Amino acid sequence: MTGDIIKLEGCYNFRDLGGLPCGNWGFTRKGKFYRADSLYGLTKGDIDTVRSLVIRCVIDLRFENETGSKPNPLRGREGFDYYNISLLDGVYSNDYKNAFPESMADMYVGMVEEAKGQMTDIFRTIYKHRNDGIVFHCTAGKDRTGVVAALLLSLAGVRPQIIIDNYAATYELIKEVTDKQMEKARLAGFTIPISAMLSEPENMEIFLAHIKNKYGSAYEYMEQLGLSREEINGLISALVI
């Protein structure tokens, strides 16, 4: 289950996280939480479509070098509350200048362990806008976005295999973009390992196992972040119908 894909001209991986089964609770709420790749290429028509989805909160997980070269067209636009909460992904956020992560799964684990302040800000921002439509995104909509999506879906009680499937669908949706990125890198004289571009299921499987083994659940991870039970339960109520 990948979630409904929102067809846009300038964005390839814009998906509704609604309609996924949550064990005995029901389903994730449709028209509420969306994950996406970079919104930089949104056309006027795309922006009208996003507005029609009643999205008010935009959480941009990219770094300054990304937001500077490819600004978010919803930032400062009437009707949207924009937040830039940067997460390091080891690929796009460093402009491909540093060593690539040996394991994407290890990078995801590092993200939740080393960026707890940013994670707290992300989930508190989502809680603040829990009555609004929300989109969170990075550059490819795979790694940083994938980790946030996985934690939200875990909190909602979505089964691990469904979360893994939701993550694994990403590569085929963004393949056109990643192929261009890899060719651009090749022409610049360096190589992006294909493993950094793929959304292999085992990456998310290892990440989810880490959350379960170390914290017990996404709920308990968020408690470790310092979120109150009122905040966490508020997130669940917004997620589940």
Q: What is the pLDDT of residue 93?
A: 53
Q: How far apart are CA 53 and CA 134, in angstroms?
A: 10
The CATH number fitting domain 15-239, selected from 1.10.1520.10, 3.90.190.10, 3.40.50.1000, 3.40.50.720? 3.90.190.10
Q: Note whether 170 and 13 are within 8 A (CB).
A: yes
The single-letter code of the amino acid at 106 is D
Domain positions in the chain are 15-239
DSSP class of residue 41 equals T
- Identify the segments of the chain with pLDDT beneath 50: none
Which helix H or strand E contains 73, and what residues bound it? Answer: none
Q: What is the pLDDT of residue 90?
A: 59
Q: What is the pLDDT of residue 220?
A: 98
Quote the pTM value: 0.94
Task: List phi, psi (to 5°) of 43.
Answer: -85, 170
Task: List phi, psi (to 5°) of 6.
Answer: -90, 120
Q: What is the pLDDT of residue 59?
A: 98
Residue 27: strand pairing partners: 21
Beta-carbon contacts of 56 under 8 Å, excluding residues fewer than 6 positions away, are 79, 80, 81, 129, 132, 133, 134
Q: How far apart are CA 123 and CA 115, in angstroms?
A: 12
